[in-house]
Amino acid sequence: MIGQVLRRLLTMSVTLLVISALIFFVIKLPPGDYLTNRIMELRATGEAGSVAKAELLIHQYGLDRPVWQQYLIWVGLMPGPAGFSGLLEGDWGWSFEYDKPVADVVGDALWLTLLVNVTALIFVHLVAIPAAIYSATHRHTVGDAVVTVLGYVGLAVPGFLLALIMLFYANRWFGLSIGGLYDSALTNQPWDGEKIRSLLAHLVVPTLVIGLGGTAAMIRRMRANLLDELAKPYTVTARAKGMPPTRALLKYPFRMSLNPFVADIGNLLPHLVSGSVLVSLVLSLPTVGPLLLEALRNQDQFMAGFILMFVAGLTLVGMLISDLTLVWLDPRIRMGLR
Amino acid sequence: MNALLSIRDLSVAFRTDSGRFEALHRLSLDIPRGRTLALVGESGSGKSVTAQAILRILPRSAEITRGQMLFTGEGKPVDLASLREEGSLIRSIRGRRIAMIFQEPMTCLSPLHTVGDQIGEALRVHTGADRQESDARTTEALRKVGFPDPKRALRTYPFELSGGLRQRAMIAMALIMRPALLIADEPTTALDVTTQAQILALLGRLQDETGMAILLITHDLGVVANIAHDVAVLYQGRLVESGPKTEVLRRPGHPYLKALIEAVPRFDMAPGERLTPIRPARATIPPAREAQSLSGPVLQVEGVSKTFTLRAGRFFAPPRTVRAVADVSLSLEGGRTLGLVGESGSGKTTVAKMIMRALAPDEGRILFDGGAGPRDVHALSGEALFAYRRTVQFVFQDPYASLDPRMTVRQILSEPMEIHGVPQGVRRARCTELMAMVGLEASALNRYPHAFSGGQRQRIGIARALSLEPRLLVLDEPVSALDVSVQAQILNLLKDLQKALGLSYLIVSHNLAVVDYMADTISVMCRGRIVEEAGREALFRRPVHPYTRALLAAVPDPSLDHPLDFRKVTGDASNPVRWPEPYRLAPEEAGTMVEIEEGHRVRLSYLAAQKAA
């Protein structure tokens, strides 16, 4: 088992390396980069001092070297002008756009992103699982139909539209400030009780908006899975033993129907970051989604590269988590049968 | 008489798309205490519906429309039919006073929970016992049903157990609360004969110990003759006959029961006697063709071995291997039938796959003579291999899984011909001809497999195998998935087709009666080796090898004159180390085949063989 995990970790690092190369070269594909574009702009306006600074940056980050060397320096496998200083050494690079280290720009946004999306995820499961169980056990009843219709509505309404509507009413009824994850007055304040309270209040709308689409999809899938499992003979066995219906349901068919969802964790984590960009923009949430979009548009290469690497890392970690959970959950996989 | 369960006027109806369908019509039946009542009938006759109705676990589309079921399991009688389906009263009876075991022990146990967890569950549900107590009682129950190491079995998962042990676990689960009534729904249908005999013996023993009543649902009259006390026969949802076993089986009154008895292959059939199917099929068998005369056998398997490598274990450990087939030799004359018999895991299907060239042997060769002299099947390539594929065809065990549900019968029958370049016009004519040959209407060609019953599907499977006019058919358990009432039809059809088309058959089966009915020569396999081979007559009348004898002794015979001797079914018969001298083989010893009369060979240990020589 431990050997398995070690082997997985090894393949993961190789995968990450390959991904990092892909990301870097894809970012580099369009001609020019942020600094050369900027220099051209500055030359046109004739600001000699700024031009000198930009050229210094070019040299400092080795942007005048061949692309493969730039890549190795970025990853930290080759000494740059400032010695070994790349991702491997914990240096995430410089954001030219913000003129700050990437870590400073992204820092808060990363944790807020995870917060918003994990909350949405928990919301999805809390709502979808009971709804799906109800819907599957009360098939072809009014309740099932209501859940189904609501589910389809949730699937069909675009997130950004819902976001706008909810923002409007949240502001009108509860006096919540529009947009952001906390009151804009608190932006530069330390994290104290008031700011956290403001954060929690602002979390409701994004959670609902991001969560609803996923909830609907999950109800549909879970219901279908459960219906398959409910027809299986071991469910009948459990009934024939005299188990109360709910207990039997949770112990046997429900547990069996979980596998596909566990296998999905790997896809969920990266989706957390990249999936809610549109909603984040509309709600002007300080999350990484909009930052990534901007960085890609401006060819802010280290910033874009870091965020993409972060997403890739999340994907791999998610895959690992889901595989390990499956092993723990399903003895058939544990015993290497199946 | 004070019956344990007294069913009166019970009717069950299903709601279907085409209206209501009455699956059970005014059934009245008494299940006496401490006895075994066998409920006999073909699929669709309402036997399983009866069982589900008693436990009130009918499918949602079914409902009890009238009647009552008085259960006097404890104190005053309860009418099960009047209880609420998920009410606490019926739940307290389920699993505690009335328990049930099912046909397919694999799918009836959850693969995600340990055996111990699932067995002890009834105890925890009904008595509120804690884990420790339930584990102790479960260990006890597992010991009682014959688990070799009950403590360890607690922590195993169903898929780690053999079919026989799984069914034992199911029985332990049903009996842990010492129910007054055990409903056994085809408890041995999915098992090998020897395992079946052991399970039947176990049920009998447990009944003696606990005094429970058993409602045994089965279509196998052999099983009925051996463990039932009373018999009730259902036909199309109605009770047509009931009474003590001896009366019913010796003097069957209803034509359906008479026909059922006629339709099952028995060992004491006269040579050349034909089975009488319950519903005769109207197949148009083409006039007999002169079989091509060959100098030698059509198929020869010479010293074939196959070893499978299991998944690599831990780091650096050598991969584990399993010897599936060891030095097997067979010979099949043109126009004849060779039966390959053995329990599951004996390697018989692996041999069949190697003949089909779906697997390659590690050693040995397989020679096939298509008329131009014997050629090594596994050395064929290109055109010759393509031609070989035409001449050897396969009929599968499961007629449900072996036909693509998205293809019409015409497409199914035409596909092999398309692959082998038969022109369109010929294909169409051939399809019609094939349908007539297997006794189906040509108008059914445009329908999909789901529109057919199991027996009809198997006939489609046979027609598909015949579409390329093969010389050899490999039949892998061709009737074991079918209802008894249609088995006879299929077997007779195969016999008629063989005569008419000059086909050679290799029939692989664990059902000795079927092999006895079909085969000319028989080879018995155990743990990858042939242990005895002989002509049909010699093998069944004068079996020599202890394994063959054990197999034959385990077949429940429907006639009351040959009851099973349950003391003899110990489960050691497939272990070569436990065989008596001169058959005993040391671990890893191959032994050697010795001819004891013409065409009758048996495997002896080297030492014994040398002494004899």
Of residues B93, B94, B102, nearest to A233 (C-beta): B102
Residue B612 has pLDDT above 60, yes or no: yes
Rounded to whole angstroms, the Cα distance separating A239 from A251 reads 12
Q: How far apart are the first and last CA of chain B?
A: 66
Of residues B57, B86, B159, nearest to A236 (C-beta): B57
Confidence bin at A277 (pLDDT 50/70/90)? confident
What's the angle, vertex CA B259, arms to CA B257 and CA B264, rounded to 5?
A: 100
Mean pLDDT of B567-585: 80
Confidence bin at A338 (pLDDT 50/70/90)? very low
- Minimal Cα–Cα distance from A331 to chain B, Å? 6
What is the pLDDT, as a whole number, of residue B294?
A: 60
Report the percentage of chain A scoring pLDDT > 90: 7
- A58 in contact with chain B, both atoms CB, cutoff 8 A: no
Of residues A233, A245, A335, nearest to B108 (C-beta): A233
- Minimal Cα–Cα distance from A99 to chain B, Å? 51
ipTM of the complex: 0.77
User: How far is C-alpha A103 from the chain's CA centre?
Assistant: 18
B192-202 per-position pLDDT tens digit: 888 888 889 99
Asked whether the beta carbons of residue A237 and residue B109 sit closer than 8 angstroms, the reply is: yes
Residue A318 has pLDDT above 90, yes or no: no
Confidence bin at B579 (pLDDT 50/70/90)? confident
Rounded to whole angstroms, the Cα distance separating A88 from A75 reads 6
- Minimal Cα–Cα distance from A126 to chain B, Å? 24
Asked whether the beta carbons of residue A244 and residue B173 sit closer than 8 angstroms, the reply is: no
Asked whether the beta carbons of residue A244 and residue B125 sit closer than 8 angstroms, the reply is: yes
Q: What is the pTM of this model?
A: 0.81
Structure tokens at B104: 């397919």
User: How many C-beta atoms lie closer than 10 Å to residue B344's C-beta?
Assistant: 15
- B94 in contact with chain A, both atoms CB, cutoff 8 A: yes
Residue B59 has pLDDT above 50, yes or no: yes
Suggest the residue from A237, A255, A329, A332 to mutate for an interface test with chain B (most B CBs closer than 10 A).
A237
Asked which of A210-219, B376-385, B435-444, B454-463 is least confident by mean pLDDT, the reply is A210-219
Mean pLDDT of B240-249: 91
What is the pLDDT, as a whole number, of residue B399?
A: 87
| E strand or H helix that includes residue B364 | strand B363-369
What is the pLDDT, as a whole number, of residue B26?
A: 93
- A256 in contact with chain B, both atoms CB, cutoff 8 A: yes
Confidence bin at A313 (pLDDT 50/70/90)? confident
- A2 in contact with chain B, both atoms CB, cutoff 8 A: no
What is the pLDDT, as a whole number, of residue A272?
A: 66
Mean pLDDT, chain B, rounded, equals 88
Asked which of A21-30, A136-145, B182-191, B304-313 is least confident by mean pLDDT, the reply is B304-313
Rounded to whole angstroms, the Cα distance separating B601 from B610 reads 15
B277-293 per-position pLDDT tens digit: 877 767 777 776 665 55
User: How many C-beta atoms lie closer than 10 Å to residue B492's C-beta?
Assistant: 19
Of residues A233, A238, A337, nearest to B159 (C-beta): A337
Q: Is B71 exposed, middle or buried (CB count within 10 Å of its CB: 0-12, 13-18, 19+)?
A: buried
B78-105 per-position pLDDT tens digit: 999 998 888 888 999 999 999 999 888 8
Residue B310 has pLDDT above 70, yes or no: no
B550-560 per-position pLDDT tens digit: 888 888 888 78
Mean pLDDT of B498-520: 90
* Strand B504-509, strand B472-476: pairing: parallel
Count of CB contacts below 8 A, A vs B?
Answer: 76
The closest of B80, B71, B98, B77 to B12, measured between CA atoms, is: B80
Rounded to whole angstroms, the Cα distance separating B104 from B113 reads 17
The closest of B77, B75, B76, B1 to B34, measured between CA atoms, is: B1
- B115 in contact with chain A, both atoms CB, cutoff 8 A: no
Asked whether the beta carbons of residue B94 and residue A242 sit closer than 8 angstroms, the reply is: yes
Nearest residue on chain B to A333, judged by CA atoms? B112
Adjacent-strand bridge partners of B31: B5
Confidence bin at A337 (pLDDT 50/70/90)? very low
Contacts of B104 in chain A (CB under 8 A): 233
Contacts of B121 in chain A (CB under 8 A): 238, 241, 243
Asked which of B127-136, B169-178, B601-610 is least confident by mean pLDDT, the reply is B601-610
Residue A232 has pLDDT above 80, yes or no: yes
Residue B317 has pLDDT above 60, yes or no: no
Nearest residue on chain A to B106, judged by CA atoms? A234
Suggest the residue from A6, A234, A326 to mutate for an interface test with chain B (most B CBs closer than 10 A).
A234
Residue B490 has pLDDT above 60, yes or no: yes
Asked whether the beta carbons of residue B94 and residue A331 sit closer than 8 angstroms, the reply is: no
What is the pLDDT, as a whole number, of residue B291?
A: 56
Residue B9 has pLDDT above 70, yes or no: yes
The closest of B35, B34, B38 to B51, measured between CA atoms, is: B38
- A14 in contact with chain B, both atoms CB, cutoff 8 A: no
Asked whether the beta carbons of residue B57 and residue A252 sit closer than 8 angstroms, the reply is: no
B418-466 per-position pLDDT tens digit: 999 999 999 999 999 999 988 888 888 999 988 888 888 999 999 999 9
Residue A325 has pLDDT above 60, yes or no: yes
Torsion of CA B51, B53, B58, B62, to 10 degrees: 130
Residue B304 contacts residue B325 (beta carbons within 8 Å): yes
- Minimal Cα–Cα distance from B605 to chain A, Å? 36
- A233 in contact with chain B, both atoms CB, cutoff 8 A: yes
Nearest residue on chain B to A234, judged by CA atoms? B108
Asked whether the beta carbons of residue A232 and residue B107 sit closer than 8 angstroms, the reply is: yes
- B17 in contact with chain A, both atoms CB, cutoff 8 A: no
Nearest residue on chain A to B312, judged by CA atoms? A336
Adjacent-strand bridge partners of B322: B308
Question: Is 1.10.3720.10 the CATH number for A104-337?
Answer: yes
Report the percentage of chain B scoring pLDDT > 90: 46
Contacts of A238 in chain B (CB under 8 A): 110, 121
Domain spans of chain A?
Answer: 104-337
Asked whether the beta carbons of residue A332 and residue B111 sit closer than 8 angstroms, the reply is: yes
Long-range contacts of range A138-146, CB-CB < 8 Å, 24 or more positions apart? A139/A227
